Amino acid sequence: MSTTVSPSAPARTRHTAQRQCLVCRTGGPKESLLRLVRAPSGEVVADLAGSLPGRGCYCCLQRNCLAGVTNLGLLSHTFRTRMAPIDRDLFVTDLHHQASQRLAGAIGVYAKGGAVVAGSDAIDLAMAKASTVSGLLVVATDAGDATARHWRHRAATAGLAVHTAGRESMWGAALGRDRCAVLWVCAPRAAKRVEWLLTLAAETAPIHTT
């Protein structure tokens, strides 16, 4: 009795949906861009979760592009209808608040699921036990100099992205504790989402001039 062995089918490459920034026309993966939706009132609404119904367009997370989407002519052409005027400063400020709130909420949820490790001692222990170290580190803007230097060095050694963002009190509140100086987002999908929110919050933050 003979047996015929069929050749293995080649692994399918997962298709990544591409979209184009409304302002600069640069293309990129849909999940890396911010989706904008026309609300029934005629206003443009930022869809940070990517789940709102309706016709949408996309914008990259560059400061100039995020401000540029308030251009009424550009929006009217894109949505093929008259759009309600948008106050650029208010739009960008609201985006910053939304990104910051979602970021804090995401950190809290991910921490409960084990995708975020908080605090220097806990991170040291978790990294020592991990078979591979991936994800990203977040160091609070008001963390001590020694703590910040230590974790930037650890990130560089491990090949991790590191972001300096948020205050210790902000991360502490997200985690249900008083303060937290450093976070390790150790799950790849969680790290990708947190990095996206960090970038959006940074690009919409007020610019302080002296």
pLDDT, one tens digit per residue, over 8-17 is 445 565 677 8
**CATH code of the domain in which 25 resides:** 3.30.1230.10
Q: Is residue 1 part of a domain?
A: no
pLDDT above 60: residue 209: no
Phi/psi of residue 162, nearest 5 degrees = -135, 135
Are residue 198 and residue 158 in the same domain, yes or no?
yes
Residue with tokens 């970021």: 103
Looking at the structure, tell me whether residues 78 and 110 fall in a common domain: no
Task: Tell me: do 57 and 33 sit in the same domain.
Answer: yes
Residues 161 and 132 in one domain: yes
With 90 as the cut, is the pLDDT of residue 3 above it?
A: no
82 and 103 housed in the same domain: no
Residues 132 and 82 reside in one and the same domain: no
**Do 185 and 165 contact (CB within 8 A), yes or no?**
no
pLDDT tens per residue, range 38-82: 888 778 899 998 888 888 899 999 999 999 998 988 888 888 888
In this structure, what CATH number is given to the domain that contains residue 129? 3.30.1330.30
Does residue 27 have a pLDDT over 80? yes
Do 67 and 132 sit in the same domain of this protein? no
On whether the pTM is more than 0.85, the answer is yes
**pLDDT value at residue 11:** 53
d(Cα 174, Cα 54) in Å, to the nearest integer?
A: 32
Mean of the pLDDT values across residues 169-193?
A: 96
Average pLDDT value for residue range 156-181: 95
Determine, yes or no, domain membership for 13.
no
Q: What total number of domains does the chain contain?
A: 2
* Domain ranges, residue 181: 99-203
170, 110: one domain:
yes
Tell me the average pLDDT of the chain. 90
pLDDT of residue 5: 39
Task: Output the pLDDT for position 50.
Answer: 84
Amino acid at residue number 206: P
- 138 found inside a domain: yes
In terms of domains, do 82 and 105 share one?
A: no
Residue 19 has a pLDDT of 92
Q: In what order do the strands lie in the sheet with 161-164?
A: 116-118, 182-185, 136-139, 161-164
Q: What is the pLDDT of residue 81?
A: 86
Domain assignment present for 115 = yes
Is the per-residue pLDDT at 134 higher than 60?
yes
pLDDT of residue 10: 53
Cβ–Cβ under 8 Å, residues 190 and 115:
yes
Whether 106 and 64 share a structural domain: no
Whether 103 and 82 share a structural domain: no
